[in-house]
Amino acid sequence: MPHLFDRLYKAESSRSSRGSGLGLTIARHIVQAHGGTIKASSEPGKGMEMRIELPRSRMTNF
């Protein structure tokens, strides 16, 4: 979990699969560029939760 958002990081169990390991790094950069945060938590055998929080827009004319 501590390396989940690192560039080119792939977990041991997914090393044989295709992919570059950039997806979550790109997601982190996009979220941070918009002033938000991205977090992950996991419980073995129960799955993983990803949380993205973005600030509310200050624009009023939607």
Q: Does 35 map to a domain?
A: yes
Tell me the CA distances in angstroms from 32 to 5, 27, 39, 61, one per residue in order.
12, 9, 11, 24
pTM above 0.85, yes or no: no
Inside any domain, residue 3: yes
User: Given this model, what pLDDT does residue 62 score?
Assistant: 57
Q: Do residues 20 and 40 touch, judged by C-beta distance below 8 A? A: no
Domain-embedded: residue 34: yes
Please count the structural domains in the chain.
1
- pLDDT 10s digits, 2-54: 667 666 655 555 555 565 567 788 889 999 999 999 998 988 889 889 999 99
pLDDT reported for residue 1 = 59
In the prediction, which pLDDT does 38 show? 92
What domain range is 40 assigned to? 1-9+21-56
Give domain status of residue 16, yes or no: no
Write out pLDDT tens, residues 39-51: 989 888 898 899 9
